[in-house]
Structure formats: C-alpha cells, structure tokens
Amino acid sequence: MELADALPAFLATAVVKRDHIWNGRELMVDRNTEKMLSLNQAWQGWMGLPPIPPWWTWYGKPYTELVTSHLGDAVTSTSRGLLHKISGPPADGDVAAATPDPLAGTGLRAVLGEELPHQYIRELRRASVIPEALQE
C-alpha cells in the first residue's frame, strides 16, 4: 500500500497463483501452473480491472471515483487511494471467484478470453468502461 501511495500508480493488486514449482533455487512454471493475466497489453493498451477480483486491490485515481460507491465500507482509505480486501488471509482464485464481486455489472472488469495454447498468459477482452485517463 505504501509503495502504491508513493508512486503515481492507479492500481495495485495482490493475487495468489497456485502450482508454481520451487526447485530449491528458483521459481518455475509448467502447464499446471495457474495462468497469469496481463492487464496492459502492448498491442491493445489497458484492458481494465482484473476479471476475477484479486485478494486485495488498491485503487488510485482515476478508479477511486468509479469504485467508491460500489465498495461501501469494505475499504480502507490510504493517502492516495482505497484498499479493498476480499478476505483477511491471502485468498486464491477459487475463494475470489466464490466471493460476491461488488463491481459486477459496472463494466470496469476485463473479460476472460480463451486459454492460449502453449502460453503462460490468458487472453483478455477489454472492459466496456475504461477511465478516459487510461485510454490510448
């Protein structure tokens, strides 16, 4: 949170990705490792908020104005944004997917696309609502 507040950031998230391989010296992936999502795709720009709510999300401008009324009292204000947690301890994607999303129906979340074969990235489709400051 302190880093996000200190940088000119507009979003910071913490997620739990499962099935990484630790060989004693480095972290590795294989086909069983949960796929990563890239929300900023070079050929398309900013895609929107993560399609599945992360364990915690820090929203800076321009998102604070768009999410405040939806998150209610489930946020902690920071010096430059809002922190929203879906649970106390770190939660994986199954917990996140089973937790009601306060931003459902807002159009702010990117939409999951197909799993790309032989790649460690999952395809995304752009959110229908992208803040003007983040549009190309």
The answer as to whether 116 is a domain residue is yes
Peptide linkage before 54 cis (omega within 30 of 0): no
The answer as to whether 22 is a domain residue is yes
- Give the chain's domain count: 1
**Whole-prediction pTM:** 0.80
User: Residue 71 burial (CB < 10 Å; 0-12/13-18/19+)?
Assistant: middle
The answer as to whether 44 is a domain residue is yes
Q: Which residue range forms the structural domain that includes residue 64?
A: 2-126
The answer as to whether 7 is a domain residue is yes
Q: Which two tokens stand for residue 38?
A: 């890239």
Q: What is the DSSP letter of 41?
A: E
- The Cα–Cα gap between 120 and 31 comes to 8
Residue 88 bridge partners (DSSP): none
The answer as to whether 111 is a domain residue is yes
Residue by residue, pLDDT tens for the chain (136 residues) are: 788 888 888 999 888 778 888 989 998 888 787 776 667 665 678 889 998 888 889 999 999 999 999 998 889 999 999 999 887 777 777 787 788 899 999 999 999 877 666 665 667 889 999 999 998 6
The answer as to whether 131 is a domain residue is no
Region of 58 please: left (phi>0), alpha (psi -120 to 50) or beta. beta
The answer as to whether 132 is a domain residue is no
The answer as to whether 60 is a domain residue is yes
